[in-house]
Amino acid sequence: MADGGGEPDQLAGERATAQFDVDGMKVAWAGSRHAVEVADRMARLVASDPVFRKDTRTMLSRKELFKDTLKKAAHAWKRIVELRLTEEEANLLRLYVDQPGYVDLHWGMFVPAIKGQGTEEQQKKWLPMAYKFQIIGCYAQTELGHGSNVQGLETTATFDPSADEFVMHSPTLTSSKWWPGGLGKASTHAVVYARLITEGKDYGIHGFIVQLRSLDDHSPLPGVTLGDIGGKFGSGAYNSMDNGVLRFDHVRIPRDQMLMRLSQVTREGKYVHSDVPKQLLYGTMVYVRQTIVADASKALSRAVCIAVRYSAIRKQFGSQDGGPETQVLNYKTQQSRLFPLLASAYAYRFVGQWLKWLYTDVTQKLEAKDYSTLPEAHACTAGLKSVTTSATADAIEECRKLCGGHGYLNSSGLPELFAVYVPACTYEGDNVQVARFLMKTVAQVATGKQPVGTIAYMGNIQHLMQCKSAVNTAEDWLNPAAIKEVFEARALRMAVNCAQNISKAPSQEEGFSELSPDLLEAAVAHVQLIIVTKFIEKLQEDIPGPGVKEQLQKLCSIYALHLLHKHLGDFLSTGCITARQGALANELLGKLYAQVRPNAVALVDAFDYTDHYLGSVLGRYDGDVYPALYEEAWKDPLNETVVPDGYQEHLRPLLKQQLKLSRL
């Protein structure tokens, strides 16, 4: 036992009860043995480097934090170059540095925008500079007055044939670019989205590469107004990012800085649109949404890892005679709140891996001019992004509550994790854009067209509209086919209900508007079906390691059945299950929680996170929580002096005055 009552042995005991091979689970989580090895190596590289320390980050002022972010980004780049890291290694190194900054947008959006929307010539010119950090780029789309509605953007790019240049201009206050990460202080360039005007006609939104700052002294170029938009939610957290404001006053750029893969403006000013679908303009968003889904499982698994380990250490009640108290992880309520989140972390991990595959597949098809899978990719990325981010933000907050009072301390890591994570619900849109896609599919199914991919189940409409679940015992819910059938039936029936109600409206648009809350629920049901299905499909793969597949089967059942329990109203009102079957699902959930209990700590160990990356005294691998909490407290700047600053001015006179009054 450690000094002060911490119980490091407690976690060793927990690890000893695991009924599966943790190394095997690490492989299942990471995707391959190679992925485990690289991630482990990069995590340790970061953890052992003093420049990447982050334990006092929440105590820094905004300016100190931003400078620290610049230092870490530069140091990370130095290490990447010195060690000749591969792209995979470099991405992981940045992940483990774990501090949002301009590099995220440079690699995550600026480079992909040029790759996706630039011609070969433009890529040849700009990408080598971006790859070597000779220029730093951001993605400047959102404006003060327009975020979700991209077609409503006001910034103009007017072609001037006499000079062969575009004139970039911000005509109103609301047209100021507002929010782009990295824009405020770091970026030298941006991909700017603006209305293209040529020959007096407005051709809508297009992308342009614009230099913003001097490459000599970093000052804004003439006609460019730039700055940071101000402090954001939480101490530290996303304030390491310089989200910025940008205004143009008739700034000129050469014609060839319009991204011209989708459409071109000729030397004479003629607008030409190629045969590429115009929605490819939104391709960078599809790419980044796919990465945001993968990030959801990372953020969620971190929170769950902290909450599970701490719940195994923390003891409350249970002894009337001075004997040991009960680990809070043994309480059924703690399990019923925590284990669905543990299962969700695994579910999001696997759906994220699948989404990455889907994105790669679509990209290859696009190269071959096959655009058929683009609508599905758009619907899946937008839908999964929206559902996984909002569930993850809620889950991090739930993990904080599950850690009681100590979860509210910065040293728990949870407040910062929440504050950094929660904007993911907002950026890249919070609407589940999948609903229109579903309504189109329902209409197509009615004409006899057979849907494919994630909407293939809709082709089974005859069966799914009238089937009744055959579940008769709690254990029947362990059958993946039984789960899949009710999730498919629920999603389809909700979508068909919406389509029928829309058809009764005076016009389709009015129907869409009136029914948008129902459409959102139908979209969520469809997205949850995708996540459940991808988890089930994962279990059909060869998963080596004693007991690994069995644990994943339990987690898959927990993930699906907790959704069924949470959305019981949907399943009952659409007639997919009976109230008794709902109760049986809940009965099985209780049994599954008991089976996961001895494996819980090992299941979070399989995420393979270093203490540095977790950044939490409550989630420490060794479980030595109390001495660490105690030690952390003394690091607070308030404890630098025993008597606080301000005592002489504000406390002493007050206390003296009270003394005088009491003597009266």
Ligand X SMILES: CCCCCCCC/C=C\CCCC(=O)SCCNC(=O)CCNC(=O)[C@H](O)C(C)(C)COP(=O)(O)OP(=O)(O)OC[C@H]1O[C@@H](n2cnc3c(N)ncnc32)[C@H](O)[C@@H]1OP(=O)(O)O
Contact residues toward ligand FAD (CB under 6 A) are: 105, 139-142, 147-148, 179-181, 238, 243, 423, 426-431
Q: Least distance in Å: CB of 649 to ligand FAD?
A: 38
> Which positions make up the binding site?
142, 181
Q: Least distance in Å: CB of 630 to ligand X?
A: 36
Task: Yes or no: say if 305 and 609 are a contact pair by the CB < 8 Å rule.
Answer: yes
80 binds, among ligand X, ligand FAD, none (CB under 5 to 8 A by kind): none
Picking from 309, 301, 410, the residue whose alpha carbon sits closest to that of residue 59 is 410
104 binds, among ligand FAD, ligand X, none (CB under 5 to 8 A by kind): ligand X
Decide: helix, strand or coil at residue 251: strand
Q: Least distance in Å: CB of 293 to ligand FAD?
A: 16
Within 10 angstroms of residue 223's Cβ, the number of other Cβ atoms is: 15
d(CA 409, CA 636): 11
Task: Yes or no: say if 226 and 213 are a contact pair by the CB < 8 Å rule.
Answer: yes
Task: Yes or no: say if 227 and 146 are a contact pair by the CB < 8 Å rule.
Answer: no
238 binds, among ligand FAD, ligand X, none (CB under 5 to 8 A by kind): ligand FAD
What dihedral do alpha carbons 199, 151, 441, 286 form, nearest 10°?
A: 100
430 binds, among ligand X, ligand FAD, none (CB under 5 to 8 A by kind): ligand FAD
Tokens of 459: 């082709």
- Give the residue with the Cβ less far from ligand X, 139 or 559: 139
Q: Least distance in Å: CB of 320 to ligand X?
A: 52
- Give the residue with the Cβ less far from ligand FAD, 179 or 348: 179
Strands (E), 525-610: none
Tokens of 405: 């009072």
Within 10 angstroms of residue 371's Cβ, the number of other Cβ atoms is: 15
288 binds, among ligand FAD, ligand X, none (CB under 5 to 8 A by kind): ligand X
d(CA 222, CA 616): 46
d(CA 219, CA 286): 33
- Give the residue with the Cβ less far from ligand FAD, 57 or 549: 57
Which residues here bind ligand X, judged by CB under 6 A?
91, 104-105, 107-109, 139, 141-142, 148, 150-151, 181, 279, 282, 285-286, 288, 291, 374-375, 378, 427-429, 433, 436
Q: Least distance in Å: CB of 534 to ligand X?
A: 21
Q: What is the 3-state secondary structure (H, E, C) of 440-464?
A: HHHHHHHCCCCCCHHHHHHHHHHHH
> Which positions make up the binding site for FAD?
142, 181
383 Cβ contact partners less than 8 Å away, ≥ 6 residues apart: 432, 433, 434, 523, 526, 527, 530
Strands 165-169 and 156-160 come out as antiparallel
466 binds, among ligand FAD, ligand X, none (CB under 5 to 8 A by kind): none
* Chain residue whose CB lies nearest ligand FAD: 147
- Give the residue with the Cβ less far from ligand FAD, 77 or 427: 427
Q: Least distance in Å: CB of 138 to ligand FAD?
A: 6
d(CA 615, CA 158): 49
* Chain residue whose CB lies nearest ligand X: 108
150 binds, among ligand FAD, ligand X, none (CB under 5 to 8 A by kind): ligand X
- Give the residue with the Cβ less far from ligand X, 283 or 619: 283
CB neighbour class for 195 (10 Å; exposed up to 12, middle 13-18, buried from 19): buried
d(CA 341, CA 566): 13
How big is the chain, counted in residues? 664
Write out the H or E segment, with its range, that includes residue 248: strand 244-248
Within 10 angstroms of residue 278's Cβ, the number of other Cβ atoms is: 13
Q: Least distance in Å: CB of 354 to ligand FAD?
A: 25
- Give the residue with the Cβ less far from ligand FAD, 117 or 311: 117
Tokens of 298: 């990372």
285 binds, among ligand X, ligand FAD, none (CB under 5 to 8 A by kind): ligand X
Within 10 angstroms of residue 323's Cβ, the number of other Cβ atoms is: 7
Tokens of 330: 């043994």
Residues serving a catalytic function are 428
DSSP characters over 69-115: HHHHHHHHHHHHHHTT--HHHHHHHHHHH----HHHHIIIIIHHHHH
- Give the residue with the Cβ less far from ligand FAD, 522 or 601: 522
- Give the residue with the Cβ less far from ligand FAD, 58 or 155: 155
161 binds, among ligand X, ligand FAD, none (CB under 5 to 8 A by kind): none
- Give the residue with the Cβ less far from ligand X, 150 or 505: 150
Q: Least distance in Å: CB of 369 to ligand FAD?
A: 29
Task: Yes or no: say if 639 and 75 are a contact pair by the CB < 8 Å rule.
Answer: no
Write out the H or E segment, with its range, that includes residue 195: strand 189-198
Q: Least distance in Å: CB of 637 to ligand FAD?
A: 27
DSSP characters over 387-422: HHHHHHHHHHHHHHHHTGGGGGSGGGSHHHHHHHHG
Picking from 596, 390, 512, 543, the residue whose alpha carbon sits closest to that of residue 30 is 543
